[in-house]
A = this chain, B = another copy of it.
Amino acid sequence: MRSFEVKNRTSTDEIKSLRLITAIKTPYLPDGRFDLEAYDALVNMQIENGADGVIVGGTTGEGQLMSWDEHIMLIGHTINCFGTSIKVIGNTGSNSTREAIHATEQGFAVGMHAALHINPYYGKTSLEGLISHFKCVLPMGPTIIYNVPSRTGQDIPPTVIHSLSSNPNLAGIKECMGHNRIQTYTQTNITTWSGNDDECHDSRWDHGATGVISVASNLVPGLMQELMFEGKNLSLNLKLLPLMKWLFCEPNPIGLNTALAQLGVVRPIFRLPYVPLPLEKRVEFVEIVKGIGRENFIGEKDVQVLDDDEFILVGRY
């Protein structure tokens, strides 16, 4: 089902060169549908502040809470509106090989530049099964493989990556297992992005990572751009660490969702099972913003502490 129209072609090398990729937040309307106006604004702020790519419907963007038609629609929308300004990487991975095949085929058909693929979480499989899974989707286009054992319950070991690395579509690895693992790859010329904001500075400048696939850049894209492009900067990294720690005090994107709502750039709406951070953490966020400087965060409204009853949680949508 491949298309060879020019607009669909992005080379794997272009993907390999991206340094700041934002795992973009998906904002919602009160009935739980996507808030595309808010989404467009978020993407535009990423472009203006120097991000080179976005992951659409990653775990941060809550792809796991989307139906596949919503997910592919959002990829198609992003490509259509922003595809000439930023690289659009669709999270078309799944723990079901069938779904990964179907979604990846559709994602490339609507023009996404690359796919992000997770190993089969929850259901898991053998190493041989992992390889078979990735081999079903790699032929379709530029691909980033994502390793995050704290979510998947299963590490993708380097042997698996090495057995796939001769495929010209393998752009690289989003790796959450730390500097040593990253170095294992970068020493053998496998492009690697840090999947941990709090480690990305050191991974980038000391361990060969090309850049980061970031959550924090949803909030402070300009500073994250500086961190990834402008050379080693220990003081900036230090300045950002409290924000990064705060963001991950509960499973992501709980912190991010809370933060964006308090910055006034998205409506305070959560799709369950996500719920906002408690009041004391919401107060803490306002202090962190003040510490780093409101002007470094996206949006133009004052940051505020939202009350419990300002949040809307949706289960049916």
A interface residue numbers (CB < 8 A to B): 1-5, 7-8, 29, 31-37, 39-40, 59, 62, 64-65, 68-69, 72-74, 76-77, 79-83, 95-98, 101-102, 106, 109-111, 118, 120-126, 128-130, 132-133, 136, 149-154, 250-251, 254, 271-275, 277-278, 313, 315-317
Nearest-CB distance from A72 to chain B (Å)? 6
Nearest-CB distance from A54 to chain B (Å)? 14
A2 and B122 within 8 A (CB): no
Partner of A151 from the list B64, B69, B153 (CB cut-off 8 Å) is: B153
B8 and A81 within 8 A (CB): yes
A313: B residues at CB distance < 8 A: 132
B125 and A251 within 8 A (CB): yes
A250: B residues at CB distance < 8 A: 125-126, 129
Partner of A129 from the list B31, B126, B275 (CB cut-off 8 Å) is: B275
A72: B residues at CB distance < 8 A: 69, 72-73, 76
B69 and A68 within 8 A (CB): yes
> Given known contacts A3-B37, A97-B271, A98-B65, is B110 in contact with A80 (CB within 8 Å)?
yes
A110: B residues at CB distance < 8 A: 73, 76-77, 80, 110
A254 and B126 within 8 A (CB): yes
Assembly CA distance A106 to B277 (angstroms): 32
Assembly CA distance A273 to B3 (angstroms): 26
A126: B residues at CB distance < 8 A: 250-251, 254, 275, 277
A65: B residues at CB distance < 8 A: 96-98, 123
B125 and A275 within 8 A (CB): yes
Assembly CA distance A39 to B34 (angstroms): 30
A132 and B272 within 8 A (CB): yes
The 5 closest A-B pairs by CB, nearest first: A76-B76, A97-B272, A76-B110, A80-B111, A124-B251
B124 and A151 within 8 A (CB): yes
> Given known contacts A3-B81, A124-B251, is B96 in contact with A136 (CB within 8 Å)?
no
Q: Find the B residue at minimum CB distance from A44.
A: B5
A271: B residues at CB distance < 8 A: 97-98
> Given known contacts A37-B2, A152-B122, A153-B152, is B273 in contact with A77 (CB within 8 Å)?
no
Assembly CA distance A315 to B138 (angstroms): 13
B275 and A95 within 8 A (CB): no
Nearest-CB distance from A129 to chain B (Å)? 4
B36 and A2 within 8 A (CB): yes
Subset of 18 A-B contacts with CB under 8 Å: A4-B37, A7-B80, A8-B80, A8-B81, A59-B123, A64-B95, A64-B120, A74-B109, A98-B271, A98-B317, A102-B316, A110-B110, A118-B122, A123-B251, A125-B274, A125-B275, A128-B278, A133-B273
B1 and A36 within 8 A (CB): yes
